[in-house]
Amino acid sequence: MAVVLGYDESPGADAALTTAINVAARFGEPLVLVYGVAPPGGGGEEFKAHREALLEIGRTALSHAVERAQAAGVETDIELVDAKPAQALMQVADARDATVIVVGTAGESPLKGAMLGSTPHKLLHLSSRPVLCVPVAD
Q: What is d(CA 100, CA 23) in angstroms, rounded to the nearest whole number?
A: 9
Taking a C-beta distance cutoff of 8 angstroms, is the pair 3, 32 a contact?
Answer: yes
pLDDT single digits (tens) 54-64: 999 999 999 99
The pLDDT assigned to 45 comes to 82
pLDDT tens digit string along 112-121? Answer: 555 445 899 8
Whose CA is closest to 23, among 135, 113, 132, 125? 132
Give pLDDT, residue 110. 57
User: pLDDT value at position 38?
Assistant: 84
Asked whether the predicted pLDDT for residue 99 surpasses 90, the reply is yes
Model pLDDT for residues 19-66, shown as the tens digit of each residue: 999 999 999 999 999 999 887 666 778 878 888 999 999 999 999 999
